[in-house]
Chain A
Amino acid sequence: MSATGPAPAGRKRSPYPIWFYLPAAIVYAVLFLVPTVTSFYFSLTRWSIFDSQFIGFDNYVTFFQEPALVSGLWHTVVYAVVTSGLKVVLGLGLAVLLTSQIIGRGYLRSVVFFPVLVSTIGVGLTFTILMDPEDGLINESLALLGIQGPGWLTDPSYALLSVALVDVWKGVGLATLIYIAGIVSIPQEYFEAARVDGASAWQNFRSIVLPLARPATFTVILLSLIGGLRSFDLIWAMTRGGPGFTSDVIASVIYKQYQAGFYGLSTAGNVVLFLLVTAIIFPLSRFLNSREVDL
């Protein structure tokens, strides 16, 4: 090493200084960590931004006694599980289709993926109109086939699931993409060996694709659960939690309580969401990572 090198200067001045963390750490700490930590305190207060008054667990009591709010908790779980389940099944199916020798493969991949990039609000408003019970394109088309379509967004028993379907329409492209990456990375020797053994397409899928695409499945499940549990914009654009409170989720409850000026209650909703997400995602990701397969 030459004498003009940096070596003699300090004790050991690393070329990778810790202060590189600093700018990001400040922004992250001030605008993400501080709000997250203080939310636990503010959820225990009656709060109007300017002053807060400690009231113990009253907000949580309100939250869990109000049927409209408790149902939001339940809807959040249903919404996340339904969207995540459908994305796994459809994403895997589409990925198998789109990695096979099919005509128009590039076109199909593009068209399935494009909705991922489109504005959620735009998609929500478009489908609200397509799902109109009388004049909507979906029910008019079903009527041509002699089927009486339901009031997708106006019937309390369908509203949440209809929004979930649109979420899947918009998001399945990402799941497909992750599966395609997973399937493409499976070594070709497996398929060649299977062909020598005379395996059918179904056996190929069952014994090669399904087990070896497992990391992709875990990723899809985790990503869509994380997205589904905090989902807000699509629901807000399509139903605003209605009819009644039948499609309210925690994130929309948080917004409604915020608008109504109940900041403490809104923050309690946030803490409930935080606990729900950590209670589901952290154990699940640990469980899934422990079952990682080697290729």
Chain B
Amino acid sequence: MKSRNPLLSIVAILLSVVVFLVPFAFILLTAGKSRQEASRLDFTWPTQFQFVQNFVDVVQARDYMLIIAFINSTILTVASVTIMVVLAAMVAFVLQRRRTRWTGFVNFLVLSGLIIPPAVVPTIWVLQKLGLFRTMPGLILVEVAFGLSFCILLFRAFIATVPRELDEAAIIDGAGPVRLFFRVILPLLKSVIITCVVVQSVTVFNDFVNPLYFLPGDQNATVQLTLYNFSSSYSTQYNLLFMDILLITIPPLIMFLFFNKRIVAGMTAGAIKG
């Protein structure tokens, strides 16, 4: 490897500030400005910060829609990721351990789930037939269906590294399939489960398209949709729009600060196996 190159480092750091940090600084500064100042769209220091005022205004807008949206997004994220992870782990476990004539077909379906774009209106039609259209359970199941493939690939790769001797020992001790899976295998998957949960939580939390199609209506809004509403009804209130952007950036930021390594592991492992 080359020795440290100070000139290159300085150029890289300066460029990274201009390209990647300035947009975030712009969000932060505009979120703290008064309405008139924000409308000039300048990248300037506000004459006076009014973060608290803007925060209160955004939260109170449209009958506390943002609070409702945060609750909705939390329910959606927690429920869909939990279901997704358990179901995917079960599939990955059997898929990796047992070869049957189904194995090839299941693998094909898993890959298809990653590649094929979902058919929107027919999905609405199915949800309507089931009475799940415009309902939170409906959207949760949709997120589960679309997220399964990624999790299965991630888990299958990891389960391949868990020695089969463990299974055999548990079976000799009299464990049935359910005990074997939930008591022996699942606890061993802890690290990959964290990875999967973090990556999928960010994905579902940031999802805009599926709530837009499958859960329309103001009282059902998820956080991404409030942004979309704010941008039209507050087209002149940029300070509030950016305060909203700032608020919905915080959960991914927290995930990033705590789980940076896990996210990186998941995204690269999942990607390279896929």
Contacts and interface: CB of A to CB of B under 8 A. Distances in A.
Interface of A: 1-2, 4-6, 14-18, 20-21, 23-25, 27-28, 30-36, 38-39, 42, 47, 49, 97, 100-104, 107-108, 110-123, 125-127, 129-130, 132, 135-137, 140, 169, 174, 177-178, 180-182, 191, 201, 215-216, 219, 222-223, 226, 229-230, 232-233, 237, 251, 254-255, 258, 263, 266-267, 270-271, 273-274, 277-278, 281-282
Contacts of A101: 1-5
B16 interface: yes
Given A117-B252, A219-B274, A97 B27 contact: no
A20 B274 CA distance: 22
A35 B268 contact: no
Contacts of A108: 12-13, 16
A294 B228 CA distance: 47
Contacts of B22: 137
Contacts of B72: none
Contacts of A47: 121
A119 B125 contact: no
B125 A219 contact: no
B106 interface: yes
A88 to B, nearest CB: 14
B117 A277 contact: yes
B202 interface: yes
B241 A42 contact: no
Given A28-B145, A278-B115, A21 B106 contact: yes
B119 interface: yes
Contacts of B20: 111-112, 114-115, 169
B248 A122 contact: yes
Given A32-B113, A126-B26, A277-B115, A16 B93 contact: yes
Contact of B94 (A5, A20, A232): A20
26 contacts: A1-B172, A6-B176, A16-B94, A16-B177, A17-B94, A20-B93, A25-B91, A27-B144, A27-B145, A31-B126, A36-B122, A49-B125, A101-B3, A102-B4, A103-B4, A103-B13, A111-B16, A113-B264, A114-B256, A117-B263, A119-B252, A122-B227, A123-B23, A132-B41, A140-B42, A277-B116
B249 interface: yes
A35 B125 contact: yes
B131 to A, nearest CB: 13
Contacts of A126: 23, 26-27, 242, 245
Contacts of A237: 208, 228, 231
Interface string B243-274: 00100110011011000100110011001101
A93 to B, nearest CB: 11
Nearest to A103: B9
B255 A219 contact: no
B64 interface: no
